[in-house]
Structure 1
Amino acid sequence: MSAVHEDRRVPATPDSGPGPAGAARAVSPGVRASLRRGRTWIVVAVALLAGALVLVALQGAVRAPGAPLAADNAAPVGAQALARVLADRGVEVTQVRSLDSALDAARAGATVFLHDDLGVLDRDRVAELATAAEAIVVARPDFAALEVLAPGVRLAGAADGAPGAAACELPAADRAGALSDGQRLLTIDDHAAESGFTGCFASGDGFAVVAGSTPDGADVVLVGSTTPFANETIDEAGNAALAVGLLGARDELVWYLPGPGDADAADAPTLAELTPGWVSPVLVLLVVITIAAGVWRGRRFGPLVVEDLPVHVPASETGEGRARLYARGAARLRSIDQLRIGTIRRLSAVLRLPRSAEVDAVVAAAASATGRPAASVRALLVDAVPRDDRELVRLARELDGLERAVHGAIAPDASLDASDPTGRRT
């Protein structure tokens, strides 16, 4: 045990201060003592880390993996099943996440399947895609896609139950016959009807599928919902027949899911546009209040002035206050080190040792004067580590006993006559 504490002890250096007190500086607490003192915060940190891991695990379990309607996503919201069926039928399916790649494939004559789940594409980029493509199938179109590809076609909510029969001239819809529940509807106004747009699978005034031609002459099919393409619903009713018929009409299919790089940064709203109007005045008011509170409650301006305390603070109160701080922080090792430093300093003076004497010299002199083993004196002055308050009190008493023993050992014999130069007993 003493060897372990020997490694942790700070050796004496010329900068440690004069006398043996500098050679016996306080020893820093070990790893075990530091862990024991900070166990409360360690438990709190472990609990927070465990909670964060549980939250991440729950989010990963609840949140669907992969992008919705991605050709390589096997999750319920993905469309891997449809992509594999099309590949088995000889359709070359290419999934892209950038507009440039989609434009290159569209110009080569491939059918474009578009699903802009996050509304990344603006009107100009949708128009650029419509100009390059010959056939476009859009799943759950947004306002930008409807305004560019099918002017006059509007969103009309969700169908109440399954929509009706196809009742249109679209071959893929006619082969499907019917669709499952959960379809979103589109309406066709007079202008769109005059432009050649027709609806399939009617439900009230809306249709689950709308087909026609874009202003640039490309064939476009708008499917209001993603259910005909998703893994979890493609096998219901005629969903699979509709999806395969729409996307398998040509030998090449570009599966385009717009990514963040396709967004136009110039059209993105600024922070000032997204911030409500009351935020800026409130921030200014908070800054003014903070400055005013700092001036009000802060220190007075000007240079510091040294003044005498109006009262006298006894040294005992200072010592007691420091002792309470050590007790509150369970700093037993630091407490015993302070007692040892004082004991070593006084023993060095009593034993007439030079101020530059090291701790080992004080230990040897004290052991010689009292007749105690040097190992026990060194353990008391240096090596022993109190594990609890009881051991701390015991070591403090033993330090006092050692000091008293040294004083008693070197004190002159009271039976000798100090006035007699021969030292004869009286």
Structure 2
Amino acid sequence: MNGVREAAPSATAADPGRAAAPAITPGVRGALRRGRTWIVVAVALLAGALVLVVLQGAVRGPGAPLAADNPAPAGAQALARVLVDRGVEVQQVRSLDAALAAARGGATVFLHDDLGVLDRERIAELAATAETIVVARPDFAALEVLAPGVRFAGAAEGAPEPASCDLAAAERAETLSGGQQLLSIGDDADASGFTGCFASGDGFAVVTGPSPDGADIVLVGAVTPFANETIDRAGNAALAIGLLGTRDELVWYLPGPGDADAADAPTLAELTPGWVSPVLVLLVVVTIAAGVQRGRRFGPLVVEDLPVHVRASETGEGRARLYARSAARGRSLDQLRIGTIRRLAAVLRLPRSAEVDAVVAAIADTTGRPAASVRALLVDAEPRGDRDLVDLARGLAELERAVHSSIEPHAASGAPHRTGAGPGGPHPIGADPTGMDPTGRRP
């Protein structure tokens, strides 16, 4: 339409001697080849995530460390079950209030603060209430409150020496396995009555004595005598059972998040270095400036003549290549359909504003084809592959020939030509009446 001629849908039909162009629509193999870099990165990330999950599952088992109901290697379910079989009532609690309530009844308190949740005030409150407290791997706060003068002394090299103290549970255990953490007894602690068992160098694996509040304190430097994976080594089980099974009731206290003092926790500003805030402000300013610079408008578009002449066919071929590379079969077919509808509407003397249904009805009346099949060809049919796209393009070309054949039967075998009046006599429609071809050259 508008004096512009569009290329025929099939190049081989117009030029039988011309070889068909190879299809360049990307297939699955081509897509995988182009995206192999990202595929390798995705596979590497997935493999790394799986390895991390496996390692975390192997290193850190389910449940809290040293929990009475945790069957993992770091748990203590084996010890808890043995104590229950011996008639000890084991009550596992995760709050200080529950531990204090049970301690008031005379129960032994087993404390393991793996995350260091308890502060000094809460530890002192527990020591003032309980009669006997067994602490596995105490932290600095527990040592300062429960056993002033007792300090950390590193790890034992190999198994510590046999027990040589008055603690009954240590005497029954006789020896402990390797992997023990040591505690040293200073002059203040020695004067207060603290003694050590299972010596190794200047430290002891177990330290016992009275707290400032009068409670009997037993400090075990490591969790090795209580954990599932090491309780069956040497005399670990005998020591753990002897320490926790002296009374009928045992409070298994693992402090939870609710026991932490939020008022004493450092704020975000206290944890953040001083240079972080200026850097954040600078980053915000730079981000806004970059957004303004990249998003600024360059003004309205200016129409400028190209320094060279570009044929319309080159633009069409370039767009066709882009459609083929992106496998945009639907868009390619839409362009062919739009051109076909416009040309047929002009041939059938329909107005430019005519709707597609009106064009379909006119084509059906002219060719005698069912309106449903004409509409399927012009609108409804969707290409599912390259073969469908080629078949539909051929169908559009055949439909144009059928319309021209119905209007001018003598032109059925060739390109549709209609004569019209103009300067110099009749001339084919679509040709320049001046006798010049589209390039401006005279014949």
What are structure 2's unaligned runs of at least 5 residues? Answer: 1-26, 412-418, 422-443
| 1:57 Cα deviation after fit | 5.1
Alignment equivalent of 1:245, drawn from 242, 252, 255: 242
Residues 305 and 204 of structure 1: is their aligned pair in 2 closer, same or farther, counting only changes over 3 Å? closer
Residues 183 and 54 of structure 1: is their aligned pair in 2 closer, same or farther, counting only changes over 3 Å? closer
Aligned: 1:129 with 2:113: no
Residues 80-130 of structure 1, C-alpha deviations (whole Å, 9 max, x = no match): 111111111111110001111111111121110000111111111111111
Residues 262 and 333 of structure 1: is their aligned pair in 2 closer, same or farther, counting only changes over 3 Å? same
Aligned: 1:280 with 2:277: yes
Aligned: 1:399 with 2:396: yes
**Structure 2 match to 1:224:** 221
Alignment equivalent of 2:95, drawn from 98, 102, 106: 98
Q: TM-score, normalised by structure 1?
A: 0.78
Q: 1:134-173 maps to which residues of 2 (within 5 A)?
A: 134-173=131-170
Residues 370-408 of structure 1, C-alpha deviations (whole Å, 9 max, x = no match): 455656544432344334445434433442342243234
Residues 234 and 47 of structure 1: is their aligned pair in 2 closer, same or farther, counting only changes over 3 Å? same
For 1:418 and 1:311, the matched residues in 2 are separated by: 34
| 1:77 Cα deviation after fit | 1.4
Contact map agreement 2:176 2:234 (CA 8 A) in 1? yes
Alignment equivalent of 1:178, drawn from 175, 179, 184: 175
| 1:215 Cα deviation after fit | 0.6
**Structure 2 match to 1:194:** 191
**Structure 2 match to 1:11:** none
Contact map agreement 2:110 2:134 (CA 8 A) in 1? yes
For 1:418 and 1:68, the matched residues in 2 are separated by: 96
For 2:394 and 2:420, the matched residues in 1 are separated by: 33
Q: Which amino acid aligns with 1:310?
A: E
For 1:283 and 1:403, the matched residues in 2 are separated by: 66
Residues 190 and 91 of structure 1: is their aligned pair in 2 closer, same or farther, counting only changes over 3 Å? same
**Structure 1 match to 2:439:** none
Aligned: 1:311 with 2:305: yes
**Structure 2 match to 1:331:** 328
Q: TM-score, normalised by structure 2?
A: 0.75
RMSD of the alignment, in Å?
Answer: 3.6
| 1:159 Cα deviation after fit | 0.8
Residues 314 and 411 of structure 1: is their aligned pair in 2 closer, same or farther, counting only changes over 3 Å? farther
| 1:50 Cα deviation after fit | 6.0
Alignment equivalent of 2:104, drawn from 107, 110, 132: 107
- Give the number of aligned pairs: 381
Aligned: 1:365 with 2:362: yes
**Structure 1 match to 2:12:** none
| 1:418 Cα deviation after fit | 11
Alignment equivalent of 2:262, drawn from 252, 256, 265: 265
What are structure 1's unaligned runs of at least 5 residues? Answer: 1-34, 420-426
3-state secondary structure, aligned to 1:281 = helix
Q: Which has the higher contact order (CA 8 A, sep 6+)?
A: 1
3-state secondary structure, aligned to 1:249 = coil
For 1:157 and 1:418, the matched residues in 2 are separated by: 108
For 2:243 and 2:420, the matched residues in 1 are separated by: 124
3-state secondary structure, aligned to 2:198 = strand
Contact map agreement 2:60 2:74 (CA 8 A) in 1? no
For 1:178 and 1:156, the matched residues in 2 are separated by: 19
Residues 284-319 of structure 1, C-alpha deviations (whole Å, 9 max, x = no match): 33334334444555525xxx8545412269793665
For 1:140 and 1:58, the matched residues in 2 are separated by: 25
